[in-house]
Amino acid sequence: MRIKYSCLVDNQERYKKQGWLWVNSLICFGKINPSDIFVHCIKGMSDDYLKKCAGTGANVEITEPYGDKTYCNKIMQLSTPKLKDSDAVMLMDTDMIMLENFENTLDYDYINSKIVHFPNPETSVIDELFEIAGLKKTLPDKSIEAIPGYLTYGANFNGGLYVIPQKYYEIIRSGWEKWAQWMLRNGKPLYDAKREAHIDQLSFCMTVHENNIPIKYLDRLYNYHVLYDLGEEKSPYVLHYHRQTDENNLIALEYEPMGNIKKAVESANGFIKKYNNI
């Protein structure tokens, strides 16, 4: 089983630092072969940064901005032909640190990802978008963690981690682009709700529904959001730290983590200190 990993690094200092930590965490903690790691950099990235990332042994690809040139940029990762030479592709956000390889825990007959933690966007907004698009639900709704009893659309995934088996690669690639372009033209409900940051996430969701692609929900250990004290007792595979960092780029939380989460943050921060040299 060959898995390829990919991220998209926008040309801002924050994302450059995150991308550098991301690629090194895959190599150091995940023991991923650098030849299976792809760092997609938006056109205009400095040569020094490109060379530094390439020095890890990872593949460095230059990517043109796409769609709104902000939230849609990550969609362009699937336009890299080299990713298709694999059994599956994992797309990850840069603000993630892998702490443990989890390839052998996944079912590659499905798209794997974690449902949103909050109603991002609200279900009423997605209802409007599906109605305008003439798109039918093909998946059952799914409950979210933050609000007991609240249901969002099936496959309304948090976009931090997508696992895409090769047999669905082309369907996702073409549909993701199509629905993102559609959203830019017809997504008034999304923009009225000031939820345009979720355009890529909803385009992915619409692609899955349109093609009735089978999915499997990952639990939060695969995409652990450190913003919230979730009382988790198990060790996460991936920390998703967003903007929860201090002036030294270390993960800094507004609560005191306990147990295995505390150990995970301490391990991540020890790693960041070592690789905080971008």
pLDDT band at 230 (very low <50, low <70, confident <90, very high): confident
The per-residue pLDDT for 231 is: 87
Per-residue pLDDT for 278 more than 80?
Answer: no
> Residue 139 and residue 111: Cα distance in Å, rounded?
13
Task: Give the total number of structural domains in the chain.
Answer: 1
The rounded Cα 239 to chain-centroid distance in angstroms is 12
pLDDT at 200 over 80: yes
CATH number for the domain that contains residue 82: 3.90.550.10
- End-to-end CA, the chain: 32
Q: Which two tokens stand for residue 36?
A: 């299976």
pLDDT in the model for residue 277: 80
Can you give the residue range of the structural domain that contains 199? 3-275
List, in sequence order, every beta strand (DSSP E) within 120-258.
142-143, 151-152, 161-165, 215-217, 224-225, 238-240
Cis peptide before 121 (omega within 30 of 0): yes
> Per-residue pLDDT tens for 16-48?
999 999 999 999 999 999 999 999 999 999 999
- Dist. CA 266–CA 256, nearest whole Å: 12
